[in-house]
Amino acid sequence: MALQDYLRDMEGCSRCSSCKWVPFNQVKSWRFAKNCPSVTRHNLHAFSGSGKMIMGLSMVSGRSELNDTVTEIIYRCQLCGACDTACKVYRDDIDLMDVLLALRAHCVEQGQLIPEHMLTIDALKREDNVFGEPKARRGDWAEGLDVKDAVGEKPQVLFHAGCRYSYDPDLRETVRGAVRLLRSAGVDLGIAGADEACCGGRAFELGYQGESENFADDMVSRVKATGASVLVTACSDCYAAFNYLYPRMGKELGVELYHITQYLEKLAGEGRLRLRQRVPKLVTWHDPCHLGRKSEPFTGEWKGDKLLRPVTMKRTGKKGVYDAPRNVLKSIPGIELVEMERIKGYAWCCGAGGGVLEAFPEFAAWTAAERIEEALATGAEALVTSCPWCLRIFRDAVEETGALLEVYDLTELALVSAGEGVLAGGAAR
Amino acid sequence: MSVEEARREFVELLGEENVSWEPAVLDCYAWQPTFNDDPDRWVKRPVAVVLPSSTEEVQEVVRICNRHGLRFKSFSTGWGAWNGPTFDNVVQVDLRRMDRIVEIDAKNMYAVIEPYVNGAQLQAEAMKVGLNTHIIGAGPNCSPLASATSGWGVGHDSIYMSYSARNLLGVEWVLPDGEVLRLGTLGSSGEWFNGDGPGPSLRGIMRGSCGALSGLGIFTRCALKLYNWPGPPEMEIDGIMLDAKMEVPENIGYYMCFFPDRKAFSDAMYKLGEAEIAYNALATSFGGYFDILTPRLFRKIEHADSIRSMIVNTFKYTLAILFAANSARELAYQEKVLHAIVREHGGFAMDVTRIKDFFSMLFMSFVRATIPALVFRMGGSFSTALDRNDALDSQAAWREVVREIKEGYIRKGQILDDLADNPYFVPYENNTWCHCEVVYQYDPRDPKHREALEPIFLDVTIAAIERCMEPLFTSDPRVRRLISPLAGNFSKYQQAISRGLDPKQAADNTLYSAEADFDFSGIDPQRVRRLQEVVEQRRW
Ligand SMILES: Cc1cc2nc3c(=O)[nH]c(=O)nc-3n(C[C@H](O)[C@H](O)[C@H](O)COP(=O)(O)OP(=O)(O)OC[C@H]3O[C@@H](n4cnc5c(N)ncnc54)[C@H](O)[C@@H]3O)c2cc1C
Ligand code: SF4
Ligand code: SF4
């Protein structure tokens, strides 16, 4: 839908500013009450979810024009969706996240492009991944692992690594560990290697919706070609794309879909994954936006007056994946989980999303540092998450700020507990 | 006037990222649809927006405005049309960078805060030390400093924690010429604990009843009285609003009381006030509840007379009351008193704590006033009938007057059906006075609804003046012109104060002291005549 199709959403904004705060019955302190990295960092109302909508309204009403300044404000936003959750506490007739996406598509349509994002899109077009790394090397990370080639060997479960896990050398051991963990539970697993491609979620978020749709089509046919009946991904971004974005675009993967945290929970529940070794640690859990509120399933498109839309069709962020990772964590002997103040549907973003890491790295780092402070305030020794983008930015933030906090992917702790690895230097080997 | 020069000076003072004159960015300050009856819903676009971070920077911003013939309009959180510019040369001062809780003095029970601390933040911190803050009924998104220093101030907790202005202790105030004035003990000893001295008080001039709405300068810090909070230091709640789940905290009681008629309701309210047992109290309107909690269902039963009359008549005189006791024994005492008073007046009391899901959902909506922004669920917008604070039984009668007026508009489909009964009815300070503001809901996209806004406003204005009720929207220059002669010509005094404190008229003071005429074209001439008649009859 084009920006002007969201006119009613935009003019519905009462300017109450709830979108700048954690839902009010969950405000637990002065320090961690704010939810929107964009307006918290930049302060002008325009940077809030409401402000971006009002800028959209102003433009479609012919009161102002899209230019570089406005474009930058639109993109200085992680698309984390915290504003959407907070607004929907009160409103049924505003889909703030959809407006933010439509604003970006509008920028692209109008030729208002962010140079760093153009590089990403170029990279995608050229090499099927957001980094522009050679396509042919996408499967290198799995070298020597005991997994099937999904193209031809017909595994039951297709493991989708995603762009960052495929190419980030610092995270290579993590993703390899995840695969070892699944194999240790006897999962009939395959990877597509060089035949895996980007899910297209990032392109969609950057405003290149057509491009994204091409990737989705491509992904659907690739997955079908493997004959797998289950798809497991270790990347939260990809999970949100598969679970929400694809159905929104009318694409059907035709497999049972799991994020790795859900799959581990299932394996543990079936007794196939045995987490027996103690991992004595006080940890806190970071809900990745794409695993949490942004992965909530697509609920269909409502054509009429949204004030009359059935509540079941309103995406509130409540149906994200929140329990599975917590359940896995709690099942690891020795782990004690202490929650941060901003969790689940109202979690603070890691900072990496929405193209911010690429275009405004200092803002991304600021956002991550804010989360690190929140994690430290719990007294935890370690911050655990389950998304390569979060993992990467948190590890960088810890290094940069010198914070005394270890950062793990959930699979790393599970691997150790399953007796398949050891913890070394804030990561599992 | 040199806007360009002023903008340059703002950038020099605050840095580029804290100043903007980008049209789309400025429009984020010009979009003020709430309590804005203008169908356009945009207010004037400011010439710049500035984000100062300290009192000194605020002073300098004000001085720059004075030097360049500009006006300033400040706000804390900026919800409602009264935050927008009313002149063409206004600099919007957005105070969100001043967001600190400077101090919570638990022993002396007060907090010192800056403008962009919201009610939820202050309450969360106060509760950790066994205290609580008054939160206005608009919700915890609002700034306690803003309502205490600058505008209105009623909340669900007003029976116990009063009206915002009454909780104001020391104040730091940047006058319209850039000077800083410190009021109360702050002005003499640098301490915050008393608003009226030793040291200058000026509470009446500074704040009055309604507040100057930024028309007399900018408040950069204030101290607020805090109250006892015997509940848990931190709330354990799962869920974010209607889905909330929680255990009933120790020594908390929550009742809905139903009375047979208006007299029984008012008499019982007075008795409950005398007994000094309530922590929060609010006359409940089930019309209001249903339409924010189940708006779709409600729109389906619109105009279904049988269901309407069943709900209206069953729940017409209902009171919600919350107890927060210091001990189980005290709670038992409070409950015993409640039951005795309710029984004596022919009513019955329902213990809400026994309906756990309902309690969970309602508890924070009471204690933190989290629910008001749901009012947009029914039709997208709302307004409220003129009238504000008065004696409790006059308010109970007034509620019925407005109900009659609303019924007519509902029947004609010009406002939404909320059973015509949707008052925000809250007693202050154990019922020494009482607030009653009758809400009506409409869909701003519906031309029929928009057309009805002026007439309904006029009808309730006439009714209020006929009954000598204290009017609410004295910030509206049209209302001010109309009623100032009926109330000691207060407008003339306000204008004199404005001239005295603001010789260059740098503050955007339309809502504080300007007067204007109603545009009666298109309004039923009979109504206009009636208005003129009642005004004439009641002139001093
Ligand atoms: C849905 C809704 C419900 C409401 N219900 C209630 C209610 O129950 N009780 C009640 O009292 N009010 C109510 N109001 C009105 C409410 O008081 C104001 O909207 C409220 O003040 C808004 O938030 P705020 O407190 O942060 O103030 P702001 O919106 O920031 O400002 C309110 C006014 O004060 C001025 N102001 C703010 N800060 C300063 C400052 N530091 N120095 C100088 N001037 C300043 C602004 O210019 C503006 O005119 C309601 C409003 C809405 C929209
Ligand atoms: S919460 Fe929603 S309605 Fe309120 S200001 Fe934000 S976008 Fe607007
Ligand atoms: S998506 Fe996140 S960063 Fe962007 S406006 Fe909303 S809350 Fe702020």
Q: How large is the greatest C-alpha to C-alpha distance in chain A, in angstroms?
A: 63
pLDDT beyond 90 at B471: no
Model confidence pLDDT, tens digit, residues B455-470: 898 899 899 888 888 7
Out of B121, B139, B368, closest to residue A33 by CB: B121
Out of B24, B237, B295, closest to residue A58 by CB: B24
What's the pLDDT band for A428 if we cut at 50, 70, 90?
low
% of chain A with per-residue pLDDT over 90? 96
Model confidence pLDDT, tens digit, residues B430-453: 988 899 998 999 998 899 999 998
Inter-chain contact B23–A64, Cβ cutoff 8 Å?
A: yes
Out of B28, B124, B239, closest to residue A27 by CB: B124
The pair of structure tokens assigned to A53 is: 């909508």
What's the pLDDT band for A315 if we cut at 50, 70, 90?
very high
CA distance A351 to chain B (A): 20
Mean pLDDT confidence for B485-507: 95
For ligand 2, is residue A313 a contact (CB within 6 Å)?
no
Model confidence pLDDT, tens digit, residues A96-151: 999 999 999 999 999 999 999 999 999 999 999 999 999 999 999 999 999 999 99
Whole-number pLDDT of residue B157: 97
Residues with CB under 6 A from ligand 3: A 35-38, 48-49, 52, 77-83, 100
Inter-chain contact B124–A85, Cβ cutoff 8 Å?
A: no
For ligand 2, is residue A16 a contact (CB within 6 Å)?
yes
- Tell me the HSE value of B231 on the side-chain side, using a 13 A CA sphere: 22
What's the pLDDT band for B475 if we cut at 50, 70, 90?
confident
pLDDT beyond 70 at A323: yes
CA distance A89 to chain B (A): 6
Q: Which chain B residues touch A339 with a CB distance below 8 Å?
A: none
Helix (H) or strand (E) holding B318: strand B317-324
Which residues on neighbouring strands pair with residue A282, listed in sequence order? Answer: A336
Whole-number pLDDT of residue A182: 98
For ligand 2, is residue A17 a contact (CB within 6 Å)?
yes
Q: Choosing among B16, B21, B26, B28, which should be mutated to test the A contact, i.e. which has the most A CBs within 10 A?
A: B28
Inter-chain contact A29–B124, Cβ cutoff 8 Å?
A: yes
Out of B25, B368, B378, closest to residue A25 by CB: B368
- Mean of the per-residue pLDDT values for chain A? 97
Candidates 3.20.80.10, 2.40.110.10, 3.30.465.10, 3.30.1330.200; CATH matching B101-228: 3.30.465.10
Per the model's pLDDT, the better-predicted residue between B378 and B224 turns out to be B224
- Mean of the per-residue pLDDT values for chain B? 93
Cα-based distances in Å from B508 to B34, B52, B87, B217: 19, 18, 7, 9
Inter-chain contact A26–B443, Cβ cutoff 8 Å?
A: no
- Complex confidence, ipTM: 0.96
What's the pLDDT band for B301 if we cut at 50, 70, 90?
confident
Q: Which ligand is nearest to the CA of B206?
A: 1
% of chain B with per-residue pLDDT over 70? 99
Q: Domain ranges for chain A, please list them.
A: 1-113, 129-269
DSSP string, A263-274: HHHHHHHTTSS-
Model confidence pLDDT, tens digit, residues B340-389: 999 999 999 999 999 999 999 999 999 999 998 999 998 889 998 766 78
Whole-number pLDDT of residue A429: 55
Out of A12, A24, A50, closest to residue B120 by CB: A24
Cα-to-centroid distance, B102 and ligand 3 (Å): 28
Model confidence pLDDT, tens digit, residues B414-431: 999 999 988 999 999 998
The pair of structure tokens assigned to B283 is: 């006359």
Cα-to-centroid distance, A316 and ligand 2 (Å): 14
Protein fold of A129-269 = Rossmann fold (3.40.50)
Name the residue of B175, B214, B436 to mutate for ligand 1: max ligand atoms within 8 A of Cβ. Answer: B214
**Alpha-carbon span A232 to A165, nearest angstrom:** 14
**Alpha-carbon span A290 to A293, nearest angstrom:** 7
Burial class of residue B72 in the structure, from the number of CB atoms within 10 Å of its CB (0-12 exposed, 13-18 middle, 19+ buried): buried
DSSP A180: H
Whole-number pLDDT of residue A210: 96
- Residues in CB range of B103: below 8 A, 6 or more apart: B111, B112, B192
Model confidence pLDDT, tens digit, residues A244-253: 999 999 999 9
The pair of structure tokens assigned to B354 is: 């026994």
Whole-number pLDDT of residue B467: 87
Burial class of residue A415 in the structure, from the number of CB atoms within 10 Å of its CB (0-12 exposed, 13-18 middle, 19+ buried): buried
For ligand 2, is residue A96 a contact (CB within 6 Å)?
yes
Q: Which ligand is nearest to the CA of A95?
A: 2
**Alpha-carbon span A62 to B42, nearest angstrom:** 13
How many interchain CB pairs under 8 A, A with B? 168
Cα-to-centroid distance, B306 and ligand 1 (Å): 39
For ligand 2, is residue A24 a contact (CB within 6 Å)?
no
Burial class of residue B400 in the structure, from the number of CB atoms within 10 Å of its CB (0-12 exposed, 13-18 middle, 19+ buried): middle
**Alpha-carbon span B368 to B137, nearest angstrom:** 9
CA dihedral sign, ordered A274, A280, A284, A286: negative
Model confidence pLDDT, tens digit, residues A382-427: 999 999 999 999 999 999 999 999 999 999 999 999 999 888 766 6
Q: Domain ranges for chain B, please list them.
A: 3-94, 101-228, 238-404+416-445
Under CATH, which number does the domain B238-404+416-445 receive? 3.40.462.10
Name the residue of A22, A88, A100 to mutate for ligand 3: max ligand atoms within 8 A of Cβ. Answer: A100
DSSP B198: S
Q: Which chain A residues touch B27 with a CB distance below 8 Å?
A: 54-55, 57-58, 63-64
Whole-number pLDDT of residue B385: 78
pLDDT beyond 60 at B71: yes
- Residues in CB range of A321: below 8 A, 6 or more apart: A239, A259, A261, A262, A291, A292, A295
> Residue of the nearest CA to atom 4 in ligand 3?
A77
Cα-to-centroid distance, A12 and ligand 2 (Å): 8
**Alpha-carbon span B352 to B280, nearest angstrom:** 14
Which residues on neighbouring strands pair with residue B74, listed in sequence order? Answer: B93
> Are B139 and B413 in contact, with CB atoms under 8 Å apart?
no
Q: Which residue of B has its CA nearest to A54?
A: B28
Out of A15, A27, A89, closest to residue B79 by CB: A15
Is CATH 3.40.50.300 what the domain over B3-94 is classified as, yes or no?
no
Which residues on neighbouring strands pair with residue B350, listed in sequence order? Answer: B256
Which residues on neighbouring strands pair with residue B91, listed in sequence order? Answer: B48, B72
CB count within 10 Å of CB B101 equals 16
Residues in chain B: 540
**Alpha-carbon span B350 to B359, nearest angstrom:** 12
Q: Which residue of A has its CA nearest to B16?
A: A42
Name the residue of A13, A84, A97 to mutate for ligand 2: max ligand atoms within 8 A of Cβ. Answer: A13
Whole-number pLDDT of residue B487: 87
Whole-number pLDDT of residue B305: 84
Q: Which residue of A has its CA nearest to B79?
A: A16
Provide the CA B447 distance to its chain's centre, in angstroms.
Answer: 27
